[in-house]
């Protein structure tokens, strides 16, 4: 088993971003991200702090509209204002959303050209049409990781488990645009094990512990486990039973290998 080192990839991306930001600053633009936070959820507060830290590290300014208890209209107004503000270049809305408005509905009020987390359904439509657009950060992260692991995705057999509009669908569309042969699975898929076991690359975004076990995984496959499932002892685990995958490969003589050769990554540090 080879574990993919996401931190190394992140460091590389951060250094590229910092130099792009510095070029923009020298031409008089200070890249600025506007965050609307319509909740006082603790996990969200942690996530917002980590976005701010990450942005500041590369020179991006971050302004937050903390508006726990906001009404639907107040959220819409905040997103509209940031979208129209020429000094703000990217706009994001954090979940959970207040009653009466979904993230998709809120997303419609984020200008497509500032929709850096792909929350506007129009951004997904542009992606589906093969046009320039932003995809949700997690979906982009999956593709970044794969591009660092495999030189070309063209022709690779990819199975994406999960079809949500925040992960499964945009991941599938991004990989299709890179000429992978993509199959999307979901809760009604028949014989998930058989479909998954054909994959050169298996991307799992379900939100259920051990939904993928040893028999779902072909020898040599790259697995990206997007799932984040809280355990009773306060930890987070993915959707793939990694131990079972490793144990089977280590003991299966039919693979013709002494040890497992999967590449596995968990994208639990979002974006």
Question: From the CB of 225, what's the least distance to ligand NAP, in Å?
Answer: 9
Point out which span in 33-41, 67-75, 102-110, 226-234 binds ligand NAP (CB under 6 A). 226-234
Which of residues 70, 206, 223, 265 is near ligand NAP by CB under 6 A?
Answer: 206
d(CA 153, CA 168): 17
- The reply to whether 167 sits near ligand NAP by the rule CB under 6 A is yes
Question: From the CB of 114, what's the least distance to ligand NAP, in Å?
Answer: 21
Question: From the CB of 169, what's the least distance to ligand NAP, in Å?
Answer: 9
CB nearer to ligand NAP: pick between 64 and 164:
164
Point out which span in 97-105, 146-154, 187-195, 251-259 binds ligand NAP (CB under 6 A). 187-195
- The reply to whether 118 sits near ligand NAP by the rule CB under 6 A is no
- The reply to whether 227 sits near ligand NAP by the rule CB under 6 A is yes
Which of residues 208, 215, 230, 261 is near ligand NAP by CB under 6 A?
Answer: 208
- The reply to whether 187 sits near ligand NAP by the rule CB under 6 A is yes
Which of residues 21, 36, 126, 192 is near ligand NAP by CB under 6 A?
Answer: 192
């990554």: which residue's tokens? 265
């199975």: which residue's tokens? 159
- The reply to whether 169 sits near ligand NAP by the rule CB under 6 A is no
Structural tokens at position 8: 């190394």
DSSP secondary structure letters along the chain: -EE--HHHHHHHHHHHHHHHHHHHHHTT---EEEEEE----HHHHHHHHHHHHHHHHTT-EEEEEE-TT--HHHHHHHHHHHHH-TT--EEEEPSSPPTT--HHHHHTTS-GGG-TT--SHHHHHHHHTT-S----HHHHHHHHHHHHH-S--TT-EEEEE---TTTHHHHHHHHHHTT-EEEEE-TT-S-HHHHHTT-SEEEE----TTSB-GGG--TT-EEEE---EE-TTS-EE-SB-HHHHHHHHHH-GGG-SSS---EEEE--S--
Q: What are phi and psi of 143, to 5 degrees?
A: -70, -40
- The reply to whether 215 sits near ligand NAP by the rule CB under 6 A is no
- Size of site (CB under 6 A) for ligand NAP: 26
CB nearer to ligand NAP: pick between 35 and 206:
206
- The reply to whether 163 sits near ligand NAP by the rule CB under 6 A is yes
User: Per-residue string for binding with ligand NAP, 249-268, x by CB under 6 A?
Assistant: ------------------xx
- The reply to whether 197 sits near ligand NAP by the rule CB under 6 A is no
Are 145 and 265 in contact by the 8 Å Cβ rule? The answer is: yes
Which of residues 226, 240, 245, 265 is near ligand NAP by CB under 6 A?
Answer: 226
- Contacting residues toward ligand NAP, per CB under 6 A: 138, 161-164, 166-168, 185-189, 192, 205-208, 211, 226-229, 267-268, 270
């Amino acid at each position: 088993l080879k574990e993919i080192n996401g931190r190394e990839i992140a460091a590389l991306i951060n250094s590229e971003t910092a130099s792009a930001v510095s070029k923009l600053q020298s031409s008089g633009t200070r890249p600025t991200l506007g965050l609307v936070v319509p909740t006082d959820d603790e996990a969200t507060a942690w996530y917002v702090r980590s976005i701010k830290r990450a942005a500041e590290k590369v020179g991006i300014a971050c302004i937050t509209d903390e508006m726990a208890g906001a009404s639907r209209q107040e959220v819409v107004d905040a997103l509209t204002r940031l979208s129209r503000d020429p000094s703000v270049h990217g706009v994001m809305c954090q979940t959970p959303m207040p009653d009466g408005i979904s993230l998709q509905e809120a997303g419609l009020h984020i200008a497509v050209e500032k929709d850096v987390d792909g929350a506007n359904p129009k951004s997904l439509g542009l992606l589906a049409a093969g046009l320039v657009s932003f995809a949700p950060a997690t979906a982009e992260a999956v593709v970044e990781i794969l591009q660092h692991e495999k030189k070309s995705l063209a022709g690779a057999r990819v199975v994406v488990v999960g079809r949500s509009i925040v992960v499964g669908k945009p991941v599938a569309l991004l990989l299709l645009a890179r000429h992978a042969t993509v199959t999307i699975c979901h809760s009604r898929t028949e014989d998930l094990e058989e479909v998954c076991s054909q994959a050169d690359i298996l991307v799992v975004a379900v939100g259920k512990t051990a939904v993928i076990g040893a028999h779902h995984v072909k020898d040599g496959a790259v697995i990206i486990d997007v799932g984040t499932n809280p355990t009773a002892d306060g930890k987070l685990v993915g959707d793939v039973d990694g131990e079972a995958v490793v144990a089977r490969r280590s003991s299966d003589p039919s693979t013709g290998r002494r040890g497992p050769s999967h590449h596995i990554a968990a994208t639990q540090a979002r974006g």
